[in-house]
Amino acid sequence: MAKRKLEEINAGSMADIAFLLLIFFLVTTTMDTDEGIVRSLPQKLPPDYKMEVEINERDVFEVNLNSNDQLLVESDYIQIGELKGKIREFLTNPYNSENLPLMEEITVERARQEIANRKQLIDNPKTPAASLGVIKSELSDWEDKLAAAEKVGPFRTLPKLAIISLRNDNGTSYKGYVEVQDQMQSAINELRNEWSQKVYGENFTDWNSSNDSDKEKIKVIRAIVPQRIAEQEPKNIPAY
Amino acid sequence: MSKFKKDDSSGSPAISTASLPDIVFMLLFFFMVTTVMREVDLKIEIKKPEAEAITKLEKKSLVDYIYIGPATMRYRSMYGTEPRIQLDDQIATQATDVGPFVIRKRTERNETDIPFVTTSLKVDEKTRMGIVSRVKHELRQVDALKINYSTTRKRVQP
């Protein structure tokens, strides 16, 4: 049988095809991955809602941002650069100052006790159904604190009602607002990183919440350094 | 006549382009992996503010976008220079459109994913907070409480 010579397939147009595909993807896709400062808004309140709990003045850290992007923090005018330090001070109260929140001492025994109390309340049929939600969320808070205390030993943390309250004006620029949010977040991140370095030798900000092995660690650090920023809604929001 | 006579004797041989497809394919795969499909046609201009302490939004499928900023040149005659809200491909005519937009997005999703949805606000840095507060207010009304202030990473000053 005569051997037919195999002809080579011409691959010259391959490059053209690939280029076409490449250009298609270049045009239809974007590189930009979204990143930013994540916050959660307060729940919407019923119109007749009245605040029942009394909050100590020392437990609230007030940050006001006016329409000229000037900062008023706890009735002092400060520069944006000073904000981070002030927030750190509020979150840790290192010198037990009377103007800053009274830190709570969390121990394993205390956490166990609180969890037992909450569980009893939940099992008790006399507990009003309306308060069950609150009790359950407190229970899971304490469970996280227990896990943290078991991991790091007794620690000091912010009391439950302490918050950073951020209020802006309708004329505040978005840039200024984000700058303030950024400073707050970096103060919290710094504290969290210090703890995570101490406990795990890693940075909190390097962990990924979708990674199962990091989840537990994130919970522990969050229980020690909570992030409590309340964005107050300004009055008379303009119509669009 | 030998007009098209091959001139083999002089000059260097042609460069082989056989590896060109491979190179282009490599580029192609690089872009396919690193990029995502464009979400919408922006009708407004956004220059995002810079920030340092930022988090990446991991799951793109769990993010809704709301854009706020002045209309681009093309649409300026129609919408003016004041900041506008863009939802999907359209500029919203009123702020109360935000709620129905979020709810419509919810119906497109798996029910179990709804509590994890983040609403990302892509806002121009020159915008005043009034309109942003309005959008936040509307989001609260429909219980879309997880939000993200979209920013770019701050460049380190030398």
CB pair distance less than 8 Å for B151 and A35: yes
From chain B, the residues in CB contact with A169 under 8 A are 129
E strand map for chain A: 29-30, 35-40, 60-65, 71-73, 76-78, 104-106, 155-157, 163-168, 229-232
* Distance from C-alpha of A78 to C-alpha of A66, rounded to nearest angstrom: 12
- Which is higher by pLDDT, B81 or B32? B81
Q: Which residues of A touch B67 (CB under 8 A)?
A: none
Confidence of residue B158 (pLDDT cuts 50, 70, 90): low
Please identify which residue in the block is written with the tokens 């010198």.
Answer: A95
Size of interface A-B (CB pairs under 8 A): 182
Any domain includes B14: no
CA distance A132 to A125: 11
Residue B9 confidence (pLDDT): 55
Residue B41: predicted pLDDT:
83
Q: What is the pLDDT of residue A46?
A: 77
| Smallest Cα distance from B150 to chain A, Å | 4
Averaged pLDDT, B75-94: 90
Whether A35 sits inside 8 A of B147 (CB atoms) is no
Structure tokens at A197: 């370095």
Across all residues in chain A, what is the average pLDDT?
A: 87
Backbone phi and psi for residue B151, each to the nearest 5 degrees, phi listed first: -140, 170
Structure token pair of residue A179: 């700058």
Query: What pLDDT band is residue A32 in, cutting at 50, 70 and 90?
Result: low
CB spacing of A210 vs B134 below 8 angstroms = no
B155 close to A (CB below 8 A):
no
In a domain, B17, yes or no: no
- The pLDDT assigned to A2 comes to 61
CB contact under 8 A, B21 and A11: yes
On chain A, the residues whose CB falls within 8 A of the CB of B49 are 174-175, 178-179
| B132: contact with A, CB 8 A cutoff | yes
ipTM: 0.80
Q: Cα separations (Å) of B42 from A12, A50, B85, B122? A: 39, 42, 11, 11
Q: What are phi and psi of B5, to 5 degrees?
A: -70, 135
In a domain, B15, yes or no: no
Q: Give the nearest chain B residue to A207 (CA atoms).
A: B55
Least CB–CB distance from A37: residue in B21, B34, B51: B51
Q: How many CA atoms lie within 13 A of B35 on its CB side?
A: 19
Contacts of B133 (CB under 8 A, 6+ apart): A168, A170, A233, A234, A237
At B118, the amino acid letter reads T
Q: Assess if residue B31 is contained within a domain.
A: no
Q: What is the percent of chain B with per-residue pLDDT over 70, rounded to a whole number?
A: 91
> Taking the alpha carbons of B121, B125, B129, B130 in that order, is the dihedral positive or negative?
negative
Question: What DSSP character marks residue A75?
Answer: T
Domain assignment present for B79? yes
Whether B82 contacts B44, CB under 8 Å: no
A185 and B53 within 8 Å at the Cβ level: the answer is: yes
* A40, B98, B119, B149 from B144: Cα distances, Å: 9, 10, 7, 14
Does any CB of chain A come closer than 8 Å to the CB of residue B134? yes
Has residue B94 got a pLDDT over 80? yes
- B25–A240 C-beta distance less than 8 A: no
Total residue length of chain A: 240
Residue pLDDT, tens place only, A114-133: 999 999 888 888 888 878 88
Q: Do B125 and A178 count as a contact with CB atoms less than 8 A apart?
A: yes
Residues of A in contact with B125 (CB under 8 A): 173-175, 178
Yes or no: say if A220 and A157 are a contact pair by the CB < 8 Å rule: no
Residue B18 included in any domain: no
Hey, is B114 helix, strand or coil?
helix
Interface test with A, best of B45, B96, B151, B152 (most A CBs within 10 A): B151
State the pLDDT confidence band at B2, using cuts at 50, 70 and 90: low
Is B66 a member of any domain?
A: yes
Cα distance from A113 to chain B (closest Cα, Å)? Answer: 31
pLDDT at B142: 92
Q: Which residues contact B73 (CB under 8 A, 6 or more apart)?
A: none
What pLDDT sits at residue A34? 83
pLDDT of residue B21: 82
Compute the distance between CA of residue A218 and CA of residue A225 in angstroms, rounded to an integer.
10
B101 belongs to a structural domain:
yes
Q: What is the pLDDT of residue B120?
A: 93
Q: Is B87 on the interface with A (CB under 8 A)?
A: no
B26 touching chain A per CB within 8 A: no
Average pLDDT over residues B81-97: 90
Average pLDDT on A200-206 reads: 90
Burial class (CB in 10 A: 0-12, 13-18, 19+), A121: middle
Run of H or E residues at B103 = helix B98-107
Q: How confident is the model at residue A90 (pLDDT cuts 50, 70, 90)?
A: very high
Q: Hey, is the C-beta of B47 within 8 angstroms of any chain A C-beta?
A: no
> Most confidently modeled of A1-15, A57-71, B15-29?
A57-71
Q: Distance between CA B56 and CA B61 in Å, rounded?
A: 13
Give the separation between CA B97 and CA B85, rounded to whole angstroms. Answer: 9
Of A37, A182, A186, the CB nearest to B148: A37
* CA distance, residue A17 to nearest chain B CA (Å): 8
What is the per-residue pLDDT for A214?
A: 87
| Tokens read off for A119 | 């569980």
CATH code assigned at B135: 3.30.420.270
B8 has a pLDDT exceeding 60: no
Q: Is the pLDDT of residue A210 over 70?
A: yes
Confidence grade of residue A50 (pLDDT, cut at 50, 70, 90): confident
- Contact list, A31 vs chain B (CB under 8 Å): 34-35
Query: What is the domain range of residue B65?
Result: 50-153
- Tokens found for residue B47: 């220059």
Which carries the bigger pLDDT value, residue A47 or residue A98? A98
How many domains would you assign to chain B?
Answer: 1
In sequence order, the β-bridge partners of residue A157 are A104
